[in-house]
A and B are shown apart, each in its own frame.
Chain A
């Protein structure tokens, strides 16, 4: 059972980088050291878990998705989703980006499905961000949500018998 835990966002844009904080806390649950930089690319061999952080989703991430049975994608949201910490299953569904370099979790899985004829069973954990100024310090409201998100991910992993 291989698992990818992929957080993404801009760590320098306050709550947009909340995924990095979730990833960091989750890594420490497994005894891994707290990351010291934005670049997280760590394996927890005992459980076959790959922790990765990216500024944004990119198409090439799909090229390697066939290596994983499961994936947890972590991102910020800005309130369009009702739950402060929302967990949803991700299905392959390509969504065109009209103007910019923007890729969604669903699109990523769609590319994987097309390339590999397979994709990992995935969830998207999105955490409410409140402020997006130029700082790495989370807002108090979003900071409170980090441990909740970690707990929800652990629950999901337990249910999948990954943890």
Chain B
């Protein structure tokens, strides 16, 4: 039998896209599947020469989905490089904005991107397995999902003046205090949001129960996990130490994020533009780790809000207290985090300092380089800047969440391909599974450019002489 190569490629016409190649061996089995990512790195070059104070306004333009994460990571890098730690009220307000971002981003992912897979079923017709199909199937749930996302965005808008590209955090603090009236507007949406998230969690566990077989054979991977935690190893999304555990849950490191270069290195493969970060001391691939909701919950011993903490206990029970390895439980973890973020909004609004006008530290003590780290919805986001004495940037290093999960996404695709392609006849439904393997990580691959057009997914089967044997396409 002739060896085959299968390629799945979303046809974007400029960089920032990915494609999947599945190489078949001569026995008609999957030899290996590769996720090739053309992640852009040019933005770092684009930032060189800019002033450090401009960065919180420039870097959100990297992404239309999670601009707040870049905004805040950039401001934190600015705090560090300028030696201007923000006053406590400013940190609380930044964290409040971040919680809004987590709620709206996670909410959109579960209910509008991944939700259709779960609620309507993996094998539902792709023509209806989307947010429009979901709207038709459960309009009430969809309205709730819309309101949840709006609530998160309203928090961002109130603080940052805009829903998309906020102008709020600046090195040393923020440029706007919260008013009593604004606080009341945010609080008004709290109860419904909590209820909606609880419904989402119920949907997820209900789906998990019915689809246990799928979950337990779908990209179950052994890896390390990384995420921010507080001093008690509780979940942190805005600030803290980076904790790295191995596949058994044992702590490998807990370190100041400023020192990330001492612990993390990046491996290069000739089939992907995106590097593969790994834990330096273990080398590649032994030191690979996952970030994002699954990585963070596996890393956290507790959560500081009561409802989410109870959900964390249920999450931990999935694998008897050991790290949860199932890729599809990214969705579960994402919902638990959403619950935490919503609860934490109320904690922050109840804090006595939240209405304070002490929001900016104008005393600077600059140094040549600074690091800002935040847990973006998709995972650990690192901004590292180097500057001249006149505060002009000479070098910028950005490690984005999707980069940390590069290995995991690629392995997930490989695992799914090997599990579900059992012979030379590639089933049409493999597209659904491959999509789901990648989508579980909520990657942000095309966040640099979005020219007009569809993003069809094309699966090509080629023999060893590169002759096209079969094409499966979905527009």
- Chain A residues with a Cβ under 8 A of chain B: 8-13, 16, 38-39, 41, 54-60, 63, 75-81, 94-102, 104-105, 107, 110-111, 114-115, 124, 126, 129, 132-134
Interface string of B236-273 (1 = CB under 8 A from A): 00000000000000000000000000000000000000
B93 CB–A CB distance under 8 Å: no
Are B132 and A102 neighbours in the complex by a CB distance under 8 Å? no
B451 touches A77 (CB 8 A): yes
Instruction: Count how many pairs of residues, one from A and one from B, have CB atoms less than 8 Å apart in the complex.
Output: 152
A-B CB contact pairs (8 Å), 25 listed: A9-B449, A9-B451, A10-B61, A13-B449, A39-B162, A55-B450, A58-B65, A59-B108, A60-B146, A94-B132, A94-B133, A95-B456, A98-B474, A99-B445, A100-B17, A100-B443, A101-B444, A101-B446, A101-B447, A102-B12, A104-B453, A110-B132, A111-B131, A111-B135, A124-B452
Task: Check B64–A95 contact: CB distance below 8 A.
Answer: no
B442-475: CB near A (< 8 Å → 1, else 0) gives 0111111111111111000000000000000011
A55 near B452 with CB under 8 A, answer no
A38 touches B61 (CB 8 A): yes
Query: Quick check: B112 and A59 within 8 Å, CB to CB?
Result: yes
Q: Return chain A residues, CB-CB under 8 Å to B94.
A: none
B165 touches A39 (CB 8 A): yes
Q: Which residues of A contact B74 (CB under 8 A)?
A: none
* Identity of the chain B residue whose Cβ is nearest the Cβ of A126 in the assembled complex: B452
**A118 → chain B, closest Cβ, in Å?**
14
Chain B, residue nearest A11 (CB): B61
Tell me whether B449 and A59 are in contact (CB under 8 A).
no
Chain-A contact segment, one of B39-47, B83-91, B294-302, B335-343: B39-47
Identify which of A56, A100, A132 contacts B14 (C-beta below 8 A): A132
Q: B29 at the A/B interface (Cβ < 8 Å)? A: no
Q: From known contacts A9-B450, A75-B451, A134-B45, infer whether A16 and B14 are also in contact, taking CB-CB under 8 Å.
A: yes
B130 contacts the other chain (Cβ, under 8 Å)? yes
Categorize the interface residue count of chain B: 35 or more
Residues of A within 8 A of B129 (CB): 96
Contact of B452 among A54, A76, A110, A115 (CB under 8 A): A76
9 nearest A-B pairs in the assembled complex, by CB-CB distance: A55-B64, A134-B46, A75-B452, A114-B135, A56-B64, A78-B13, A98-B457, A126-B452, A100-B446
Judged by a CB distance under 8 angstroms, whether B280 is at the interface is no
Picked from B132, B146, B445, B448, the residue with its CB within 8 Å of the CB of A63 is B146
Q: Cβ of B454 and Cβ of A10 under 8 Å apart?
A: no
Question: Nearest chain A CB to B408's CB is how many angstroms away?
Answer: 15
- Docked complex Cα distance between A36 and B18 (Å): 34
Given A16-B14, A100-B10, A115-B135: A63 and B449 within 8 A (CB)?
Answer: no
Q: How far is the CA of A75 from the CA of B135 in the complex (A)?
A: 27
Tell whether, in the assembled complex, residue B449 and residue A10 are in contact, meaning their CB atoms are under 8 Å apart: yes
Binding site for A on B (CB under 8 A): 10, 12-15, 17-18, 42-43, 45-46, 58, 61, 63-65, 67, 108, 112-113, 126-127, 129-133, 135-136, 142, 146, 149-150, 153, 162-165, 431, 434-435, 438-439, 443-457, 474-475
Q: Quick check: A99 and B443 within 8 Å, CB to CB?
A: yes
Q: Among B58, B133, B136, B439, point to the contact of A99 (Cβ < 8 A).
A: B439
Measured in the bound complex, the distance between the Cα atoms of B449 and A126 in whole Å is 14
A8 to B450, alpha carbons, bound, how many Å? 8
Q: Which of B43, B46, B58, B455 lies in contact with A97, CB distance below 8 A?
A: B455
Asked whether, in the complex, the Cβ of A16 is within 8 Å of the Cβ of B443, the reply is no
- Within 8 Å CB of B63, what residues of A? 55
Contact residues in B for A124 (Cβ distance below 8 Å): 452
B150→A60 contact, CB < 8 A: yes
- Contacts A98-B457, A134-B46 aside, 20 further interface pairs with beta carbons under 8 A come to A12-B43, A55-B164, A59-B149, A60-B149, A60-B163, A78-B14, A94-B127, A94-B133, A95-B475, A98-B474, A99-B435, A99-B455, A100-B17, A101-B444, A101-B447, A102-B12, A102-B450, A110-B132, A134-B42, A134-B45
Q: Which of B13, B46, B133, B455 contacts A95 (CB 8 A)?
A: B455
A10: chain B residues at CB < 8 Å are 61, 448-450
Q: Which residues of the partner chain A approach B127 to less than 8 Å between Cβ atoms?
A: 94
Contact B455 A98 (CB under 8 A): yes
Q: How far is the CA of A8 from the CA of B165 in the complex (A)?
A: 14
Contact yes or no, A38 B165, CB < 8 A: yes
Please give the distance in Å from B47's CB to the nearest CB on chain A: 9
Instruction: Please name all residues of chain A whose beta carbon is closer than 8 Å to the beta carbon of B446 when the two chains form the complex.
Output: 99-102
- Beta-carbon nearest neighbor of B18 in chain A: A99
Residue in A closest to B111 when the chains form the complex, CB atoms: A59
- Give, as a whole number of angstroms, the nearest-CB distance from B247 to chain A: 26
Asked if residues A16 and B450 are in contact (CB atoms below 8 Å), the reply is yes
Question: Which residue from A39, A76, A94, A99 sits with its C-beta under 8 Å from B131?
Answer: A94
CB distance from A142 to the nearest CB of B (A): 11
Chain A residues within an 8 Å CB radius of B64: 54-56, 58, 101
